[in-house]
Amino acid sequence: MSAEKTPCISAIDTTNFARQIVLDFEFAPVPKQRQRHGLRNEIIEVGAVKLDYHGNVMGEFSQFVQTEFTEGVAFPVRELTGISAVDTAMADPLYVVIKRLSDWIGRYSAQVVCWSGTDRRQLLTECQAKHIDLSAFPTDWADLQAFYTSIMDVGSHGCVSLSDAATWFGIEFDESTGHAHSALADARVTAKLLKQMMDGNYRVSPHAQEIRQRWGMGERARRVFPASAPSWETCC
């Protein structure tokens, strides 16, 4: 991928793109003795939700990924995601899945939305290490975590996790995927948070106070949420 094609994290743009592609990856750690080109993790599952410019769901994408350097799935990852070594062994390699994902996204102008910049960094690092062509993949990426961190009363807590943001706004994980924290389940929750941002319709859950107490922040200050995303950017 050339320098001018390198994806960069920017502000969420809900007006100049025909599609928003909410993307989530699950990773497995690569053993130190098998790490190549700075690749410490490998993608083992891809989940995505496609939204139109109104925030309506247009489709979903979910696939396991066969690893190249990782043998099996470490127990903590298996416990969290429900992904087994059989799932990855029977799956297609990343270059096939990325091609399939690009075809699923289609020729529409699209922005990729993730929760934090971790997924973008992983994709770039892994595709570079495995010589996978990303020229057909969207180059515009947005970080929804940065938006929600900016509008929630987080104080010095730092960045907000996806599960905390979902609880804060009363959004439940959809376990119809087979596991509460599969890539598709996380993408669905992120898509609901994006839709909420697009509509400017924020409904704070009573459980928000429980999160603030866990953070040691006491009573929640009154907050007026913006109708649209504030102006912010994070350079790549």
User: Which residues, in sequence order, are bridge partners of residue 137?
Assistant: none
Start-to-end Cα distance in the chain: 15
Q: For residue 218, name the pLDDT band (cuts at 50, 70, 90).
A: low
Separation CA 107–CA 19 (nearest Å) = 10
User: Which whole number is the average pLDDT over 173-202?
Assistant: 83
Quote the pLDDT of residue 8.
Answer: 56
Separation CA 121–CA 124 (nearest Å) = 5
What's the pTM value of the predicted model, to 2 decimals? 0.86
Q: Is the dihedral of CA 4, 123, 22, 136 positive or negative?
A: positive
Closest listed residue to residue 142, CA positions, set 167, 116, 113: 113
Task: Please state whether 22 falls in left (phi above 0), alpha (psi between -120 and 50) or beta.
Answer: beta
User: Which whole number is the average pLDDT over 111-123?
Assistant: 96
Quote the pLDDT of residue 9.
Answer: 61
Max avg pLDDT among 67-81, 107-121, 180-194:
107-121
Closest listed residue to residue 189, CA positions, set 120, 104, 113: 113
Q: Quick check: 24 pLDDT over 80?
A: yes
